[in-house]
């Protein structure tokens, strides 16, 4: 037999030593073992090599230390669960979850049994259900297991980091209708810049060690503060089979905000559908992504790999110079495709796009269970408007100028969201969109040349109805891919459903997952090449070789 089952029969009872002996027995099979597998020696050798490739990858992952899974301690610190995810469950008039219902949620995430999730009570009869918590328990067949990744603890409720996270989300809501072309001159943007500079623990992008109109609401990856706010891959025309697609989208009208009415906010926290207090109203014609509202609308309606599929098609039209420097078919008499061409890149970015969500869902449901921004500002509202309510909010958020702005506009301190239903019914940290962005963009970086300068870059007009030539510093594939990931990630913040930390740290998590997949796949190719080469989001150079 190829697999020596007798040598491994006591594995389950023998501990790690027995497992190591079993692994050794699987890896030292002789040519005699292979030839005995069948009459076709060549076929048997191929089968053995395929088996060895898969088993070695599995053993390598198995033998890695199991990481610690840190959390911010808020779930234990606050027995009223004021910073724990509970949307869809019963809540009191202050928006605090029913204790017994939350205990049933904890029981379910501990057991992983579908039946335990089914008995968690809903806040409203026939209300919305929790978003696929069982995905947190699933397995993958490529890359490391979802439970073998770790990420930093989310900011604690009473921390300066949380305050900065929250203030930024509020300013993103308040500035949704400011065109990106007006950021340098808008008084509202100037106020947002001043407030973010006053935060004692803000971890967003900066220029010359300070937040500026050029760095405001941008990602922290290499090249992201260069050029227009929106990535070229969200603006340029997309070659799409036998046609081309202009990246124009239906955008809600200015001021079309939601969840600023307290009773509607509470209804939504209980899992209710929007009652019609506010509805979505659209502009009379599609627009390019030209302001925060259009960016938010894109990420509220996009499908699984839309942005990254489009980016791959755009880069394909740049020609062979846009492919990775280590591409095995550069200078070859052979032609790429099916492997190492655009179709290969699209396949891999799609494969990690979906599986990255298993990685994200483990962290969301089984580790952090962090409440959404709309919940945080519900706490702020009650703290500031009800004498009997007091929460340990950091001074940085209580002194933020954004609170006076939102109260003057809506008469509450609630976060104006870009959609009437607010956030989805799953925890906020990390953001699924962000983990996917990190994974998919990493795959694109592995196939394309990050130093390639994008020809004929564009920017949006003031009203988003047209594209204009961009004249300025060169824009590279690396910088614009980093920017693409952050546009998608921070776009969810602009919509009011996530924080920056959900995004920036989610992108890093997705990047780690994609790297684990590439480390396995690189050994499956017969082409001789130096390996996949690219820079991580923080600029660290990577080469993944055989």
* Inter-residue contact 112 to 137 (CB < 8 Å): yes
Structure-token pair, residue 117: 């999730």
Kindly report whether the peptide bond that precedes residue 358 is cis, defined as omega within 30 degrees of 0.
Answer: no
Query: Which has the closest alpha carbon to 291: 256, 246, 324?
Result: 256
**What contacts 400, CB < 8 A, 6 or more positions away?**
163, 167, 170, 195, 198, 199
Residue 184 CA to residue 192 CA, distance in Å, equals 12
With 0-12 CB in 10 A as exposed, 13-18 as middle and 19+ as buried, what is 76?
A: exposed
Torsion of CA 76, 78, 79, 81, to 10 degrees: -100
* Inter-residue contact 508 to 537 (CB < 8 Å): yes
Catalytic residue among 267, 433, 462, 498: 433
Map 374-421 to HEC letters: HHHHHHHHHHHHCCCCCCCCCHHHHCCHHHHHHHHHHCCCCCCECCCC
Backbone angles phi, psi at 307, to 5 degrees: -65, -35
381 given a catalytic annotation:
no
Residue 40 CA to residue 285 CA, distance in Å, equals 65
Backbone angles phi, psi at 193, to 5 degrees: -60, -45
Map 53-105 to HEC letters: HHHHHHHHHHHCCCCCCCCCCHHHHCCCCCCECCCCCCECCCCCECHHHHHHH
Catalytic residue among 147, 267, 368, 426: 426
* Inter-residue contact 413 to 403 (CB < 8 Å): yes
Backbone angles phi, psi at 463, to 5 degrees: -100, 0
* Inter-residue contact 377 to 413 (CB < 8 Å): yes
Structure-token pair, residue 531: 């390996």
394 given a catalytic annotation:
no
CA atoms within 13 A on the CB side of 379: 23
Kindly report whether the peptide bond that precedes residue 338 is cis, defined as omega within 30 degrees of 0.
Answer: yes
Dihedral sign, CA of 139, 144, 512, 445? negative
Q: How far is CA 450 from the centre of its chain?
A: 21
The DSSP call for residue 263 is H
Catalytically active residues, by annotation: 426, 433
């Amino acid at each position: 037999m190829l697999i020596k089952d007798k040598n491994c029969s006591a594995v389950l009872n023998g501990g790690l030593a027995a497992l190591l002996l079993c692994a050794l027995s699987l890896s030292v099979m002789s040519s005699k073992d292979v030839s005995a597998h069948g009459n076709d020696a060549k076929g048997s050798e191929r089968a053995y090599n395929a088996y060895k490739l898969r088993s070695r990858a599995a053993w390598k992952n198995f033998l890695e230390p199991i990481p610690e899974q840190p959390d911010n301690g808020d779930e234990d610190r606050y027995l009223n669960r004021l910073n724990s995810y509970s949307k869809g469950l019963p809540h009191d008039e202050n928006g605090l979850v029913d204790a017994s219902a939350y205990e049933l949620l904890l029981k379910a995430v501990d057991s992983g049994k579908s039946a335990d999730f089914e008995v968690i009570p809903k806040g409203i009869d026939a209300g919305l259900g929790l978003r696929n918590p069982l995905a947190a328990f699933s397995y993958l067949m490529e890359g490391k297991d979802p439970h073998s990744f770790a990420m930093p603890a989310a900011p604690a409720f009473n921390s300066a980091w949380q305050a900065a996270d929250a203030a930024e989300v509020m300013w993103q809501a308040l500035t949704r209708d400011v065109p990106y072309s007006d950021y340098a001159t808008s008084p509202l943007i100037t106020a947002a810049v001043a407030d973010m500079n006053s935060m004692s623990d803000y971890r967003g992008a900066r220029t010359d060690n300070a937040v500026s109109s050029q760095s405001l609401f941008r990602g922290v990856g290499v090249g992201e503060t260069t050029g227009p706010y929106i990535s070229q891959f969200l603006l340029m025309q997309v070659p799409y089979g036998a046609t081309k697609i202009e990246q124009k989208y239906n955008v809600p009208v200015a001021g079309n905000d939601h969840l600023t009415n307290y009773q509607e906010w509470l209804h939504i926290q209980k899992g209710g559908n929007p009652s019609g207090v506010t509805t979505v109203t659209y502009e009379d014609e599609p627009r390019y992504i030209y302001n925060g509202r259009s960016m938010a609308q894109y990420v509220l309606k996009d499908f699984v790999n839309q942005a990254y599929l489009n980016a791959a098609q755009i880069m394909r039209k740049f020609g062979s110079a846009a492919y990775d420097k280590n591409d095995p078919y550069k200078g070859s008499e052979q032609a790429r495709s099916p492997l190492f061409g655009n179709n290969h890149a699209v396949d891999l970015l799609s494969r990690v796009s979906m599986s990255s969500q298993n990685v994200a869902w483990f962290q969301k449901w089984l580790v952090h269970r962090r409440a959404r921004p709309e919940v945080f500002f519900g706490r702020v509202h009650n703290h500031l408007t009800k004498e009997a309510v007091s929460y340990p909010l950091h001074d940085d958020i209580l002194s933020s100028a954004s609170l006076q702005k939102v109260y003057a506009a809506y008469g509450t301190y609630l976060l104006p969201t870009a959609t009437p239903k607010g956030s989805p019914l799953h925890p906020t940290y990390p953001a699924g969109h962000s983990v996917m962005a990190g994974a998919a963009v990493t795959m694109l970086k592995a196939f394309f040349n990050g130093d390639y300068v994008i020809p004929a870059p564009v920017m949006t007009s003031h009203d988003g109805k047209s594209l204009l030539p961009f004249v300025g510093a060169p824009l590279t594939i690396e910088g614009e891919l980093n920017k693409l990931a952050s546009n998608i990630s921070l776009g969810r913040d602009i919509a009011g459903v996530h924080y920056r930390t959900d995004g920036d740290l989610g992108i890093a998590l997705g990047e780690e997952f994609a790297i684990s997949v590439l480390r396995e796949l690189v050994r499956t190719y017969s082409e001789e090449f130096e390996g996949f080469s690219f820079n991580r989001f923080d600029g660290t150079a990577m080469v993944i070789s055989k």
